[in-house]
Amino acid sequence: MADVFTYFEDLHKMPEIGMHEFKTSAYIADHLKKMGYEVQEHIGGGTGIVAVYDSGKPGPVLGLRADMDALGTKDGGAAHLCGHDGHMAMLLTAAEIIKEQKLVHKGKLKILFQPAEEISEGALSMLKGGAIDDIDILIGMHGRPIQECRVGQAAPALYYSAATHIRYDIIGKQSHGARPYLGVSALDAACLVVAAANALRFDSNVVYNLKATQIHADAGVPNAVPGNATVTFDLRSQSNDVMDLMIKKLTNAAKNAAASIGAEAVENILHSTPASIITPEVTNIIAEVIKEELGSQALIPPITTAGGEDFFWYPKEKPELKTGFIALGEDAQPGLHDPNMHFDHSALPNGVKLHVGLVKKILG
Ligand SMILES: [Zn+2]
Ligand SMILES: [Zn+2]
Task: Give tens-digit pLDDT for 53-87.
Answer: 999 999 999 999 999 999 999 899 999 999 999 99
pLDDT of residue 1: 45
Among all ligands shown, which has an atom nearest to the Cα of 330? 2
Residues 134, 41, single domain; the answer is yes
Report how far ligand 2's centroid is from the alpha carbon of 309 (Å): 7
Among all ligands shown, which has an atom nearest to the Cα of 84? 2
Residues 238, 354, single domain; the answer is no
Mean pLDDT of 191-213: 96
Residues 144, 188, single domain; the answer is no
Q: How far apart are CA 245 and CA 250, in angstroms?
A: 8
Residue where a domain terminates, one of 258, 273, 288: 273
Contacts of 109 (CB under 8 A, 6+ apart): 52, 53, 54, 61, 62, 63, 64, 98, 359, 363
Burial annotation 195-231 (CB, 10 A radius, 16+ → b, else e)? ebbeeeebeeeebbebebeebebebeeeebbbbbbbb
Sequence-ordered alpha helix ranges (H) in the chain: 4-12, 22-35, 84-100, 122-128, 186-198, 240-259, 280-294, 313-317, 348-363
Check if the beta carbon of residue 48 is closer than 8 Å to that of residue 112: yes
Residues 187, 242, single domain; the answer is yes
Residues 284, 248, single domain; the answer is no
pLDDT of residue 115: 98
Domain count, the chain: 2
Sheet strands side by side (includes 48-54): 38-43, 48-54, 108-114, 61-67, 137-145, 322-332, 154-155
Report how far ligand 1's centroid is from the alpha carbon of 295 (Å): 28
pLDDT of residue 187: 98
Residues 78, 113, single domain; the answer is yes
Q: How far apart are CA 68 and CA 157, in angstroms?
A: 21
Mean pLDDT of 247-273: 97
Report how far ligand 2's centroid is from the alpha carbon of 89 (Å): 14
Q: How far apart are CA 64 and CA 109, in angstroms?
A: 8
pLDDT of residue 110: 98
pLDDT of residue 44: 87
Residues 176, 286, single domain; the answer is no
Does residue 331 have a pLDDT over 70? yes
Sequence-ordered alpha helix ranges (H) in 161-239: 186-198
Instruction: Sort residue 152 into left (φ over 0), alpha (ψ -120 to 50) or beta.
Output: left
Q: What is the pLDDT of residues 97-150, one digit of tens each?
A: 999 999 999 999 999 999 999 999 999 999 999 999 999 999 999 999 999 999
Report how far ligand 1's centroid is from the alpha carbon of 310 (Å): 10
Residues 155, 53, single domain; the answer is yes
Residues 305, 255, single domain; the answer is no
DSSP one-letter string for 308-328: --GGGHHHHH-TT-EEEEEEE
Residues 284, 261, single domain; the answer is no
Q: What is the pLDDT of residues 210-247, one digit of tens each?
A: 999 999 999 999 999 999 999 999 999 999 999 999 99
Contacts of 332 (CB under 8 A, 6+ apart): 83, 143, 144, 145, 146, 341, 342, 343
Contacts of 2 (CB under 8 A, 6+ apart): 92, 93, 96, 97, 100, 352
Report how far ligand 1's centroid is from the alpha carbon of 286 (Å): 23
Residues 174, 211, single domain; the answer is yes
Does residue 278 have a pLDDT over 70? yes
CATH number at residue 204: 3.30.70.360
Residue numbers of the domain that contains 51: 4-160+276-363
Check if the beta carbon of residue 35 is closer than 8 Å to that of residue 8: no
Q: What is the pLDDT of residues 147-163, one digit of tens each?
A: 999 999 999 999 999 99
Among all ligands shown, which has an atom nearest to the Cα of 118? 1
Residues 140, 281, single domain; the answer is yes
Residue where a domain terminates, one of 273, 288, 316: 273
